[in-house]
Amino acid sequence: MSNITLGRYVPRDTFIHSLDPRVKIISLILLMVAIFISYSTWEMTFIMAGILGLFIFLLALISNTSFRLLFKSLRAMWFLIIFLLLINILIKPNNAEIIAFSIGSLDIYWESIFQSLKIIIRLFLMVSLTMILTTSTKPLDLTYALEWFMKPLKVIKFPTHEIAMTISIALRFIPTLLNEVERIMKAQTSRGVDFKHGKISSRFKAIISLIIPLFIASFQRAEELADSMEARGYDPKAKRTTYHKLRFSVNDLFVFILCGAFMAATIVFSVMNFTIKTPLFVPWLVIGCCLVLFYLFGLGAANARRYKK
C-alpha cells in the first residue's frame, strides 16, 4: 500500500500551496514543455536541464516537498531507467562518432551515454514536477481546476460537471476503499489465503478472493451513495450553486508569467540555436532566474511565518 502514499497531498502553509490550482496546472504544462525542448548541442541541453533542475529543486524547497519521497518515486522507476540505458547503449546512434570506451567488442559512444542521460534527467524532472504539484494541491482543488478548464466543452454538451463530481467522489472514497481492501485481505488471510507467497494458481485465487468481495461491497456503496445524494436533492442536470470558488491573485499572475517566460526562453534558445559560446546571455539568465526564485522563496518563508503566529 505504501506506493499509494507517493505524491499524496501534504497539508502545509507554503507559497506554492496557496496558489490557484489552475495556475499550478498551467505552470506544470509550461514547464513540461520547457523540459522537452531540445537544443542543437549537448552542452546547451545539459546547461538548460541544470537550470530547470535548479528551478524545480527550489520549487520543491518552497513547497516543502519531502526529498525522501522524491527519491523514493525515482526508485520506483529503476527498472525503466536501466532498460532505457541498455537500449540506448546497445543501439548505435546515427551521428555517433566518438567512442567513449569499449567492452570487449562492444563500442560505447559518448552520444548514447548523453542520450540516455538526457532521458533520465527529463524523466526525473517530470516526475519531480508532478510530485510537487500533487503534494502541494488538494486533489479536490485539482478537480475544480479541471472542471474549469473543461468549461468550454459544455457548449458541445460535454458532461464536465458530472466528470468533476465523479472524480471528487472517487477521491473521497479512496481511503474508505483502502480500508476495505485491508479488511478483506485480513479476513481471507484468516481463512488460510497467502497473498505474498505461493504458486501462480494459488496467488491468482488469492487475488480473486480479494477482488470479488471488493467489487460487491463497492457496488453496494455506490448504490447507497446514489440514494443518499438523490435524497439530498442532487440532480446532475439541474442548476446548482458552487461553494468552492477558485481565486486568482497577484501571486498567481506572477507565477504564471514566470513559468511562461521560462518556457518562452527555452523555445527561443532552441529555435535560434543559441550555444554555450553565446556570450553573456546564459549567465544573465541564470542570475535573473535565481533572483526571482529567491524572491519567491522569501515570500514562501514569509507566508509560513505568518501562519505560525
For another protein, the binding residues (CB under 8 A) are: 2, 5, 138-140, 168-169, 171-172, 175-176, 179-180, 183-184, 186-194, 208-209, 211-213, 216-217, 221, 224-225, 227-235, 238-245
Contact yes or no for 282/276 (Cβ under 8 A): yes
The set of cell numbers assigned to 153 is 466543452
Distance from C-alpha of 176 to C-alpha of 158, rounded to nearest angstrom: 29
Q: Closest distance between another protein and the C-beta of residue 67, in Å?
A: 14
Contact 59, 132 (CB under 8 A): yes
Output the smallest distance, CB 192 to another protein, in A: 3
Q: Name residues whose C-beta falls within 8 Å of residue 167's C-beta, 6 or more positions apart in sequence.
A: 143, 146
Minimal distance, residue 56 CB to another protein, in Å: 24
Nearer to another protein, 122 or 221 (CB): 221
- Answer yes or no: are the C-beta atoms of 305 and 13 closer than 8 Å: no
CB of 268 to another protein, least distance (A): 42
- 27 vs 40: CA distance, rounded Å: 25
Report the residue number, 191 or 277, with the smaller CB distance to another protein: 191
Torsion, Cα 122 128 131 132, to 10 degrees, reads: -120
Q: Which is nearer to another protein, 64 or 112 (CB)?
A: 64
- Provide φ and ψ at 201, rounded to 5°: -65, -40
Distance CA 173, CA 276 (A): 52
In the complex, least distance from residue 233 CB atom to another protein, rounded to whole angstroms: 4
Tell me how far apart the alpha carbons of residues 135 and 265 are, in angstroms, rounded to a whole number.
27
Shorter beta-carbon distance to another protein: residue 240 or 305: 240
Q: What grid cell was written down for 179? A: 480500508
Residue closer to another protein by CB (options 105, 190) is: 190
Q: Please, is 268 exposed, middle or buried when counting C-beta atoms within 10 Å of its C-beta (0-12, 13-18, 19+)?
A: exposed
In the bound complex, what is the minimum distance in angstroms from residue 208's beta carbon to another protein?
6
Please state the closest distance from residue 52 (CB atom) to another protein, in A: 30
Per-residue b or e along 11-25, where b marks 16 or more CB atoms closer than 10 Å to that residue's CB: ebebbbbbbbbbbbb
CA distances for 278 relative to 35, 263, 265, 273, angstroms:
21, 19, 14, 10
CB of 7 to another protein, least distance (A): 15
